[in-house]
């Protein structure tokens, strides 16, 4: 097994080169810079690595994982570490300016003021411009840690990227993911190994597959789709199921949180109160409306993320079919499958559609992902995709 890093780095899975670089920066102040950009595919642990680095920067011992500074940073409660996590579809300029204002202060407890921006690719143009001004003239003891999928200008502007030191993460190996599931989460080794192999290198997905029966059932339902698309009715039914599952997961994930937030705001405004509270409550209608808007945006994001995860699984199985068709069904010559537990289904799919058909269907799935990013209605985008995926006569 691969050696496991110590301290705050223990959960930075399968990234020895990145961990070594970050440890060097902590140990040698001359290696530090005021802005870092963590890139890597989904599930590679960008935000985990950024938080571990933030903890190590605040720790007197470079990230031992046991001191008060380490524990509070990892728990998200350290006074000098700001976490910017998009609740909705984007990170707006108002939120970013608020964080920047706090980040410009001198540290109250730690060695630095640290700002961790998860999903920095979701910053609006105005938010990115506000951040850029701070990066151009940074305070002496402020460090920004940005997380984004890639260096592409669609994810991070060229001007922001030019002011950051890049830490490139890679997809963790199945072995590394299995090890962390067994060690950290206490998952049975056999189930951990299956979950790691089925996750596509996504650590969070592997953990959900290992611990959640519903997650396993959802994945199975998605991977059953390609061989079921034998008619137009089947295509439309599959589209309904995919969109409906995403909507149901979004509702389940947000319902309880939305209710708590709404009650908290109503209580702060004195809704239902008598006397002076009545006037305060009437003035709070705008706050409730703004909260409702944020909640709707969050639900939309969760629904889109769920649907996108299903499309990634579909693209993966068609990729497997393409590989198998290319080697004419000789499974001994297949180096790696995205869905090894569905090898027989994928072999059947490869025989039905061939290499060219598999490639066209991958394009159809990617086109659907692009359409969703451009705010096409999910039902329309997914129906068009499923019709394009229909099996030949």
252-278 pLDDT, tens digit each: 767 666 677 677 666 766 665 555 555
Positive/negative CA dihedral, 346, 352, 358, 361: negative
**pLDDT value of position 106:** 87
313-365 pLDDT, tens digit each: 999 999 999 999 999 878 878 878 889 999 999 999 999 999 999 999 999 99
- Average pLDDT, rounded, for the chain: 88
Calpha distance 279→283 (Å, rounded): 6
Find how far residue 334's CA is from the centre of its chain: 29
**pLDDT value of position 110:** 79
Calpha distance 290→13 (Å, rounded): 38
31-45 pLDDT, tens digit each: 789 999 999 988 889
Give Dmax over CA atoms of the chain in angstroms: 80
pTM, whole model, 2 decimals?
A: 0.78
Q: How far is CA 176 from CA 2, 13, 17, 180, 355, in A?
A: 7, 6, 14, 6, 32
Q: What is the mean pLDDT of each run of 10 residues along the chain (393 residues)?
A: 74 92 89 91 90 94 91 93 84 90 86 92 92 91 93 91 94 92 93 92 90 91 96 96 87 70 67 56 64 71 83 94 90 84 94 96 96 91 97 90
Give 17-49 as a DSSP string.
Answer: HHHHHHHHHHH-GGG--SEEEEE-STTS-HHHH
Calpha distance 136→147 (Å, rounded): 18
Place of tokens 């903890």: 55
Say what percent of the chain tops pLDDT 70: 89
Calpha distance 337→194 (Å, rounded): 13
**pLDDT value of position 247:** 85
Query: CB of 70 within 8 A of CB of 23?
Result: no
């Amino acid at each position: 097994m691969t050696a496991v890093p110590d301290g705050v780095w223990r959960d930075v899975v399968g990234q020895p080169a990145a961990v070594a670089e970050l440890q060097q920066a902590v140990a040698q102040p001359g290696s530090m810079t005021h802005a870092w950009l963590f890139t890597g595919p989904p599930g590679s642990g960008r935000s985990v690595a950024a938080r571990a680095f933030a903890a190590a920067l605040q720790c007197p011992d470079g990230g031992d994982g046991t001191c008060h500074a380490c524990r509070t940073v990892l728990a998200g409660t350290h006074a000098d570490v700001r976490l910017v996590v998009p609740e909705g579809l984007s990170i707006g300029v108002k939120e970013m300016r608020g964080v920047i204002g706090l980040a410009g202060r001198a540290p109250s407890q730690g060695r630095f003021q640290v700002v961790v921006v998860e999903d920095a690719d979701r910053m609006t143009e105005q938010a990115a411009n506000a951040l850029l001004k701070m990066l151009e003239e940074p305070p002496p003891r402020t460090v920004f840690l940005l997380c984004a999928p890639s260096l592409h200008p669609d994810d991070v502007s060229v001007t922001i990227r030019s002011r950051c030191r890049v830490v490139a993460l890679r997809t963790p190996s199945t072995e590394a993911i299995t090890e962390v599931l067994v060690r950290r989460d206490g998952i049975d080794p056999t189930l951990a190994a299956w979950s790691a192999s089925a996750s596509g290198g996504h650590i969070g997905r592997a953990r959900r597959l290992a611990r959640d029966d519903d997650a396993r059932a959802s994945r199975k339902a998605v991977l059953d789709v390609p061989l079921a698309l034998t008619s137009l009715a089947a295509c439309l039914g599959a589209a309904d199921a995919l969109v409906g599952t995403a909507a149901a997961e979004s509702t389940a994930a947000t319902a309880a949180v939305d209710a708590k937030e709404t009650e908290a705001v109503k209580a702060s405004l004195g809704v239902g109160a008598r006397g002076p509270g009545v006037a305060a409550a009437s003035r709070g209608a705008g706050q409730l409306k703004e909260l409702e808007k944020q909640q709707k945006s969050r639900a939309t994001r969760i629904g889109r993320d769920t649907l996108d995860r299903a499309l990634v699984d579909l693209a993966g199985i068609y990729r497997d079919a393409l590989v198998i068709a290319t080697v004419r069904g000789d499974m001994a010559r297949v180096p790696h499958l995205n869905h090894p537990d569905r090898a027989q289904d994928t072999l059947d799919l490869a025989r039905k559609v061939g290499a060219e058909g598999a490639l066209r269907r991958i394009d159809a799935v990617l086109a659907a992902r692009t359409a969703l990013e451009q705010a096409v209605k999910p039902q329309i985008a997914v129906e068009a995709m499923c019709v394009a995926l229909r099996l030949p006569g």
